[in-house]
Amino acid sequence: MCSSDSLQLHNVFVYGSFQDPDVINVMLDRTPEIVSATLPGFQRFRLKGRLYPCIVPSEKGEVHGKVLMGVTSDELENLDAVEGNEYERVTVGIVREDNSEKMAVKTYMWINKADPDMFGEWNFEEWKRLHKKKFIETFKKIMECKKKPQGQGNDDISHLHNIFVYGSFQEPDIIHVMLNRIPEIVSATLPGFKRFRLKGRLYPCIIPSENGEVHGKVLMGLTNDELENVDWVEGNEYERVFVEVVRKDNSEKMRVETYPWINKNDPDIGGEWDFEEWKRLHMKTFIEAFTEIMERKRNPQGKGRDDFSNVLKEEDPANAPSS
């Protein structure tokens, strides 16, 4: 028998990607009634390096969005989990745009009202045009993980990672082998580092360099499980750190994670690694070897991470062109 709380229905004002019925259907396994509405006394902002916006109180502001009508308590808990601990669920007053009716609804306000990552106005139509397809692919994977009994917890759902890659992982085919999907990928520049070749290896490294810069890609919206996969592949000669990159499409600064080489004085470091040369000379062999490695990882009786660097070494470093 259902409790009275589980039968309670909620109206929830949404103002970002959850305005899109396709996204809501992924999260709730249904599309509730959706009505257009305006929330006075708040302002919507973009967040650096993220595909979703936030709202904070603003005396003269107003936010146009949608109200999801008749959300169950279980569905509301789902929303709470997805929004995570950087938002606070509050009750606010909105005005329906179809009949000017005022309604008390729930919404999710950004807790840190002075967050330096807030800037500019988030645009729903721009998001649909540029990011919707990749967002839904990522969101489906997150929700599938949540629905599994041994799936990810709520923290995994709310905490997605943006990872700057600068070597073979710039190639979408490689990423697909590692993650079983291709996330959104954006071009970016990392200042304060320099990229080098590694003798006898098909992958590069980066180390700090005051006047250096590295051109690469950012993998957007990786889950915690996917990040652990990247950690495993990178191994113990790299360390994962936070850095700031600059997106090439809009000059936006982003805080991301990346993997510099731990041994900054490694004698195997030398020369500039070239992505186009790598694609031309080594990509086919690399993908074949990397596919074998990931199959081993997924096989409980397979070989371990120690095989990784051996498999991805050049057959004859003395004679073969190094990447």
Q: Are 33 and 69 in contact (CB under 8 A)?
A: yes
Q: What is the DSSP string of 239-275?
A: --EEEEEEETTT--EEEEEE--BS-TT-TTEES---H
Q: Are 258 and 187 in contact (CB under 8 A)?
A: no
Q: How far is CA 119 from CA 51, 54, 64, 203, 252, in A?
A: 13, 10, 17, 37, 10
143 is written with which tokens? 């929700």
Per the annotation, the verdict on 210 as an active-site residue is no
Q: How far is CA 166 from CA 78, 171, 229, in A?
A: 36, 10, 17
Q: What is the DSSP string of 63-99?
A: EEEEEEEEEEHHHHHHHHHHHGGGEEEEEEEEEETTT
Cα–Cα distance, 309 to 130 (Å, whole number) = 37
Give the residue carrying structure tokens 């302002």.
43
Q: Are 123 and 44 in contact (CB under 8 A)?
A: no
Give the residue carrying structure tokens 């990810």.
152
Q: Are 65 and 15 in contact (CB under 8 A)?
A: yes
Q: Are 163 and 218 in contact (CB under 8 A)?
A: yes
Q: Are 198 and 214 in contact (CB under 8 A)?
A: no
Burial of 206 (0-12, 13-18, 19+ CB in 10 A): buried
Give the residue carrying structure tokens 């070494």.
313
- Beta bridge partner(s), residue 189: 215, 246
Cα–Cα distance, 258 to 240 (Å, whole number) = 5
Catalytic residue, candidates 75, 171, 226, 234: 234
Q: What is the set of active-site residues?
A: 234
